[in-house]
Amino acid sequence: MAHKRIIRSPITLGTAQLGMNYGRANVIGMPSESDAINIIKTGILYGIKQIDTARAYKNSEKIIGQALCDGLNTNVDVITKLDLPQNSLMSDDFGLESAVEISVLKSCRNLRLDKLPVLLLHDWQHYNFRGGLVWKKIVSLKNENVIKTLGVSVYNPDEAIAALQDYEIKILQIPFNILDWRWRTAEFLNTLNKRPDVEVHVRSALLQGVLCAPLAYWPAIKKFDSLACLARLNKFVKDFKRLNIADLCFAYLHSKPWVSTVVVGIETLEQLKINIGLFQQPSLTMEQSNLLELSFEDIPCELLNPSLWPPLSR
């Protein structure tokens, strides 16, 4: 039986850009606090039901808390992520458990919530760390009604497959986009099909904005022709009569029945409105998706993992 996606809203508001300078193709930078609050409130007005953030996104949680303090928090679920300082990982068991609890309580305080709607483990390596102590503490906080729903943020299919073995995990956040062939394996999809209770949240839909950016922003990857790849994307935009590359990318993701929502980072109010408009467009057909996938089977892993990119020369 195919995995049926659980959808609350097709677009989730990504807020890394609202709390810090983030994204390879982000030339605008972090918006002012008042602009960021306006973006959040407008997104909710337009029907966005989920906001993605993290303790690691600097001021993002506090800005969200300010935006939602007048009652809007009843209209939206905030998804945040655990933050464990490096020194806490070297402390004793009590110190590590305390660091987990402190991170959760700081998120509650920043977001002005008594209970976190969703908490994700930000680093899958922490799941098994020290005999699973971190994860066990998170589960205990859920059982104490401090957290409603648990999930994990992963970076590759192997981590995702391992995470899907744990029935406490109800949300799986993955980096997936039109070029990323890694998530189309039978092993991942078959494992996912066995967990219809799990929401799949997709980040990196535009690969940190690179897919929609001029060639100068693409990372220089050895033996990879960025110009030819960009030309292929633009040809599909024309052939499929899409509005632009962003429309093509979003329509591809929403053609996948196992994708619950797409996390889209926003830097300006205009960008928010444009992206919400793009999500009103029809998804690709199965035939179109198949044609795309056949055309992008040669993408190197180095392009799909921003942590491996050489720095951008400005």
What is the residue extent of each domain of the chain?
11-307
For residue 70, CA distances in Å to 64, 105, 195 come to 11, 21, 36
**Rounded mean pLDDT, 9-38:** 82
Average pLDDT of the chain to the nearest whole number: 91
Cβ(135)–Cβ(164) under 8 Å? no
8 A C-beta contact, residue 57 and residue 20: yes
Task: Write down the pTM of the prediction.
Answer: 0.93
Note the pLDDT tens digit of each residue in 174-187.
999 999 999 999 99
> How many angstroms separate the CA atoms of 116 and 142, rounded?
9
Q: Please write the tens of the pLDDT for every residue from 225-261.
A: 999 999 999 999 999 999 999 999 999 999 999 999 9
Confidence at residue 1, expressed as pLDDT on a 0 to 100 scale: 44
> CB neighbours (10 Å) of residue 313?
6
CATH number 3.50.50.60 is the correct assignment for the domain at 11-307: no
183 contact partners, CB below 8 Å, separation of at least 6:
157, 160, 174, 176, 189
Tens digit of pLDDT for each residue in 272-281? 999 999 999 9
Rounded CA-CA distance 263/50 in Å is 9
Cα–Cα distance measured from residue 262 to residue 8, given in angstroms and rounded to the nearest whole number = 11
One-letter amino acid at 213 equals A
Is 268 exposed, middle or buried (CB count within 10 Å of its CB: 0-12, 13-18, 19+)?
A: middle
pLDDT at 70 over 90: no
Concatenating the DSSP letter of every residue in 100-128 gives HHHHHHHHHHHHT-SSEEEEEES-GGGTS
Strand, coil or helix: 308: helix
Number of Cβ within a 10 Å radius of residue 272: 21
pLDDT tens, position by position, 211-227: 999 999 999 998 899 99
Q: Is residue 12 over pLDDT 90?
A: yes
Determine contact, residues 25/64, Cβ cutoff 8 Å. no
For the stretch 282-312, pLDDT in tens is 999 999 999 999 999 989 999 999 888 988 7
Exposed (0-12), middle (13-18) or buried (19+): which is 265, by Cβ within 10 Å? buried
